[in-house]
Structure 1
Amino acid sequence: MKEAVSFKATCYLILNRPNEVLQLLGRTIRPKVPEEDLIAQAYQMLGNTEKANEMMQISMYQHLIQLVATIPNYVVVNASSAEKVEVILNRAFMLIDMYEIEKLHPNMTLKVYYAAAQVYCMQENFERALEMLRKYATVCAASFTVNSLHLHGDSYFDAIDGWFAEFPLGAKTVRNEEIIKRSMLQSIAENPIFASMKDLLEYKNMIASLKFKLDIKE
């Protein structure tokens, strides 16, 4: 039921119907009941520590990814304040480094770097914009060399791979890598927001380098 409501709300957003989203979900956020924690505690009381550990890891993973997923829109909303943007991104980068999210969930990291690059470009801080795009390009290239665009755990989240396998599509989220690669390149090379940097040598070199690393042919 929850999934169906969320899907419907997503469709309304795609159709540019925000009022329907608010009517469907409400105009405020209610405190969330920690169902995952209750399930974990129940398994713990039953003496099934392995399952309790898995549930706690799933809960932590979901909350972590949800937090990171909110950052791109949050930084764009606050783009008019350079000081606020720095506070947001400094905390975001610490979080990304601490939990090694570039490897754990590179797609989430890409969205943060991409949003940061756009905001810096809007602020005409081209040096920082290029720095964010370099990070974006590095993660893009690394994602395909290590096949890390598929959902997976790591040494910290070491009990969640089985959970991913239960998804309808399994852990594999990328169906056509060639399309994804071209989309990654186009997002840098063809975004109008970056047009003000089109004559910068570093910008041109970065696009050429990413094209080479992703093995994109004309």
Structure 2
Amino acid sequence: MTIINEIPMLLSTSMNQPQKAEQIIERMFSMIELFNIERLNFNAVLILCLAAGETYITLGQPEKAMEYLRKYTDICCNLQMPMRIRGDDFFDHIDATLNKLEIGSEAPRDESLIRESMFCALRENPAFSQLAELPEFQYLLKRLERYRGEEK
């Protein structure tokens, strides 16, 4: 998780090397898939999806940015409730460790606030302003807006 958490910073320092930035993104998402991080810690993957989208906008590749923004939206709209970090068959000690913590494994914020922040992270991010008029981007916002209004 330490490596995954440091990727946005690494990307920001690699903007003047487009091939390296793209390689960082590809390798990171390979690692996410390999270790099933999307299921284990969805928030880390959401942050990386936004970082990848911002990177591709900066690199002048809006179509690649949209690929990661679609992934961001899909993850948001398919989250299991209650939102929580969890283990799996491979990482089989995570649940026990988290249950010992005072805050546990569930999100420390109200789910409606989390849904709102997921929507705002896409809608209000200045890096994505050039995508605002694209029908596909509008569709992603509508999906998140519907998700934001769903009951628990």
TM-score class normalised by the smaller sequence: over 0.9
2:32 equivalent in structure 1 = 96
2:120 equivalent in structure 1 = 186
Larger-gyration structure (1/2): 1
Amino acid at match of 2:30: M
Amino acid at match of 1:137: T
User: Is 1:131–2:67 an aligned residue pair?
Assistant: yes
User: Alignment RMSD, CA only?
Assistant: 1.6
2:83 equivalent in structure 1 = 149
User: Is 1:163–2:100 an aligned residue pair?
Assistant: no
* Structure 1: unaligned runs, 5 residues or longer: 1-64
Given that residues 134 and 206 in structure 1 are in contact (C-alpha distance below 8 angstroms), is that contact kept between their aligned partners in structure 2?
yes
Q: Deviations over 1:59-96 (max 9, x none)?
A: xxxxxx11111112211221222101111011101101
Deviation at 1:215, TM superposition (A): 2.7
Higher relative contact order (CA 8 A, sep 6+): 2
2:54 equivalent in structure 1 = 118
Q: Go from structure 1 to structure 2 and tell me whether the alpha carbon gap of 1:193 and 1:216 turns closer, same or farther (over 3 Å shift).
A: farther
1:200 equivalent in structure 2 = 134
Q: Go from structure 1 to structure 2 and tell me whether the alpha carbon gap of 1:209 and 1:161 turns closer, same or farther (over 3 Å shift).
A: same
Given that residues 182 and 216 in structure 1 are in contact (C-alpha distance below 8 angstroms), is that contact kept between their aligned partners in structure 2?
no
* Structure 2: unaligned runs, 5 residues or longer: none
- For 2:96 and 2:48, locate their aligned partners in 1 and report how far apart those are by CA, in whole Å: 27
- For 2:31 and 2:17, locate their aligned partners in 1 and report how far apart those are by CA, in whole Å: 21
Deviation at 1:216, TM superposition (A): 5.6
TM-score under structure 2 normalisation?
Answer: 0.92
1:40 equivalent in structure 2 = none
Deviation at 1:167, TM superposition (A): 1.1
- For 1:140 and 1:174, locate their aligned partners in 2 and report how far apart those are by CA, in whole Å: 17
- For 2:83 and 2:118, locate their aligned partners in 1 and report how far apart those are by CA, in whole Å: 13
Q: Go from structure 1 to structure 2 and tell me whether the alpha carbon gap of 1:177 and 1:151 turns closer, same or farther (over 3 Å shift).
A: same
- For 1:133 and 1:93, locate their aligned partners in 2 and report how far apart those are by CA, in whole Å: 14
Q: Secondary structure at the residue paired with 1:71?
A: helix
Q: Deviations over 1:27-69 (max 9, x none)?
A: xxxxxxxxxxxxxxxxxxxxxxxxxxxxxxxxxxxxxx11111
After the TM superposition, which residues 1-218 of structure 1 pair with which residues of structure 2 at under 5 Å, given as runs? 65-143=1-79, 146-147=80-81, 149-215=83-149
Counting matched residue pairs gives 151
Given that residues 121 and 129 in structure 1 are in contact (C-alpha distance below 8 angstroms), is that contact kept between their aligned partners in structure 2?
yes
Given that residues 188 and 207 in structure 1 are in contact (C-alpha distance below 8 angstroms), is that contact kept between their aligned partners in structure 2?
yes
